[in-house]
Structure formats: C-alpha cells, structure tokens
C-alpha cells in the first residue's frame, strides 16, 4: 500500500490506501474515519470514549503549558520577569506597549533619560496624548494596545467614559490576537457578572487560555475555582503549585492553608515554597531595590 499504515475506518472498516485517506477524530485522535458520513454514523458508539480522551488531552495541555511567564511579563530592558502584582512594579509604555519595570525606569531617570526606554518616544504629557498613542497602536492591530484600550474603557481613563460592554468587545478582539491579559480580564468579568451576563464556564475557558499562555493570576484563579466551586483540592493544588513557582504569593498561601488542614502533602508545600523563593530571587536586581525604597 505504498508505505501507508494498515489502518481502518472505525465505522465501516475500510482500510487506508492510496485511494482511501483516513482522517483522525480531531477531538480525541483515538480513531480514524474514511468520510464525514462514517464519522457521524459512528458518533453514538464513540461519544463516551471520545469525551473522556478529549478531556485527558485538554488537561495535559492545561497543566503542561504556561509554566513560564508570558512574554509581556518580562521587562525588555533588564530582561527580568516583573514581580507581582505587575501593575505595582512596572509601567506600560503607550507608545510601544512594552512594560518597563520601575527599577529600569528609576535608573534611567537618574541618568537624565526621560523618554521611553524601549522606543525612545517622548512620553505623553496628558491623557489625551496617551490615548492618541494607544489608538495608533490599536490601528496597527497590536493586541496589547487593544487590551489596554479596553482597560481604559473599563476604568473610565484617559478622558473616556466607563463602558464595560465596549471594554469586553475590545478584550475579545485582543484575546483573539493572543493577549493573555485580555483572556484574564474577560474571565474575571464573566466570573462575577460585572455588567455582563455571569457565565462561570465561559470565565474558566478564558482563564484556561490565559494560564496556558503563562498568565499567573489566571492560573491562581483556576485553583481558587477548583477549590471553592468544584471542591477538587487535588486540581486546585496543581494550579496553585504552578502559580507559586512563578512568584504568586497568594497561591503559595493557599497551598500552605490546605497543607495545614491536611489536603496537601508536606512535599507539595515544600516544592511550592522553594519554587516561590527561587522565582522571587530571579526577579530581584539592585535597581529594583532602589525603586522599591523610593
């Protein structure tokens, strides 16, 4: 059969050949079919095994991906991951949408440098100027700019009136372009139903997408959801362990709490504690110490 493996359609038994091309079930990849009709006919028999395997594959992706910080969580000047909460330790440059840590910012100001450290654009003097720069990046389809504009509408910043529905539309656009922060914001609003219809399943979907891209806050929230809503401590600890190793103090505290009540092992707590400390140490620099003191 010209090197084609001896495989057969799960429904009709037709074997693969040069003339017969078999296609995997895209959900589980356990079986193959020679046609869409065969796949539809076999669906009832295959449904249970398909769902089970699809769930297993999803979990494999969920817990294996996103164990490193998202690219936008690194300062492009010192190249170190930015401590949590990121908004407290860095500033978003509206000209290029890069996040500059305050350590690099303070060091630059001491040298008399007051423009954007990444693209050297003069910093805007007011909200209107900042908004104009953001919109310029939005027109270029920069996902972080679109997400940032959504944030502006969410909080009523830069002269814009607060408009959550408009913010959600922008976050959806940014999420489709790959912004983990946009997925996180969508998840947070759907979870509590803040001016959108509450939908926890949709919220979890967005948090999972964010977590697999390295969003630490989304990962911790997934652990909280598993623990508080699903009463699944095992899955909660798996999420929190990943988040703690990425420098999330809340995730570490959660593992400490469930360890105290007997729902996490001593080994898990020790692993979380060491991972958290290693992550925090990785984020330190003399410049950031100066910025923190100021």
What tens digit of pLDDT does each residue of 182-241 get?
999 999 999 999 889 999 999 999 999 999 999 999 999 999 999 999 999 999 999 999
| pTM for the whole structure | 0.87
Tokens for 118? 């990444």
What mean pLDDT do residues 101-106 have? 97
Residues near 206 by beta carbon (within 8 Å), at least 6 away in sequence = 175, 183, 184, 186, 187, 190, 218
> Residue 194: what pLDDT?
81
Residues 226 and 251: beta-carbon distance below 8 Å: no
What mean pLDDT do residues 64-71 have? 93
Of 57, 54, 53, 81, nearest in space to 67 by CA: 81
Q: Cα 132 vs. chain centroid, distance in angstroms?
A: 27
1 falls in which pLDDT band (50, 70, 90)? very low
> Residue 6: what pLDDT?
56
Bridge partner list, 32: 24
* Phi and psi, residue 18, nearest 5°: -60, -30
> Residue 294: what pLDDT?
86
Q: How far is 183 from 211, CA to CA, in rounded Å?
A: 9
Q: Kindly tell me the burial class for residue 98, based on how many C-beta atoms sit within 10 Å of its own C-beta (0-12, 13-18, 19 or more).
A: buried
What tens digit of pLDDT does each residue of 119-174 get?
999 999 999 999 999 999 999 999 999 999 999 999 999 999 999 999 999 999 99
Domains, the chain, with CATH or none: 7-38 (no CATH), 73-122 (3.30.40.10), 124-214 (1.25.40.10), 231-277 (no CATH)
> Residue 115: what pLDDT?
95
> Residue 221: what pLDDT?
98
What tens digit of pLDDT does each residue of 25-44 get?
988 988 999 999 999 999 99
Residues near 183 by beta carbon (within 8 Å), at least 6 away in sequence = 171, 175, 206, 207, 209, 210, 213, 215, 218
Q: How far is 117 from 196, CA to CA, in rounded Å?
A: 38
> Residue 55: what pLDDT?
84
Least confident stretch, 13-22, 243-252, 258-267: 13-22
Q: Would you call 23 helix, strand, or coil by DSSP?
A: strand
Q: What is the mean pLDDT of the chain?
A: 94
Q: How far is 218 from 126, CA to CA, in rounded Å?
A: 32
> Residue 185: what pLDDT?
97
> Residue 136: what pLDDT?
96
Residues 162 and 180: beta-carbon distance below 8 Å: no
What tens digit of pLDDT does each residue of 237-261 get?
999 999 999 999 999 999 999 999 9
Whether the pLDDT of residue 2 is over 90: the answer is: no
């Amino acid at each position: 059969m010209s090197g084609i493996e001896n495989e057969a359609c799960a429904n009709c038994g037709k074997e693969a050949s040069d003339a017969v091309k078999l296609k995997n079930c895209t959900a589980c990849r356990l079986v193959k079919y020679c046609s869409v009709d065969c796949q539809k006919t076999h669906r009832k028999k295959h449904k249970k095994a398909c769902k089970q395997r699809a769930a297993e594959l999803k979990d494999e992706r969920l817990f294996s991906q996103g164990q490193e910080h998202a690219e936008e969580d690194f300062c492009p000047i010192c190249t170190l991951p930015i401590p949590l909460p990121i908004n407290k330790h860095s500033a978003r440059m509206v000209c290029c949408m890069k996040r500059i840590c305050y350590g690099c910012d303070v060091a630059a100001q001491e040298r008399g440098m007051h423009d954007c450290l990444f693209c050297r654009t003069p910093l805007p003097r007011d909200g209107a100027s900042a908004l104009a720069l953001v919109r310029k990046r939005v027109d270029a389809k920069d996902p972080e700019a679109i997400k940032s504009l959504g944030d502006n509408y969410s909080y009523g910043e830069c002269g814009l009136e607060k408009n959550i529905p408009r913010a959600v539309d922008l976050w959806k656009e940014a999420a489709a372009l790959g912004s983990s922060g946009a997925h996180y914001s969508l998840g947070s609003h759907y979870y509590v139903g803040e001016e959108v219809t509450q939908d926890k399943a949709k919220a979890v979907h967005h948090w999972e997408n964010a977590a697999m891209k390295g969003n630490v806050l989304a990962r911790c929230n997934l652990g909280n959801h598993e623990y508080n809503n699903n009463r699944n401590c095992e899955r909660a600890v798996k999420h929190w362990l990943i988040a703690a190793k990425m420098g999330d103090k809340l995730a570490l505290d959660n593992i400490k709490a469930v360890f105290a009540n007997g729902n996490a092992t001593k080994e898990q707590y020790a692993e979380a504690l060491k991972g958290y400390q290693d992550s925090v140490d990785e984020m330190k620099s003399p410049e950031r110490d100066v910025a923190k003191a100021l």
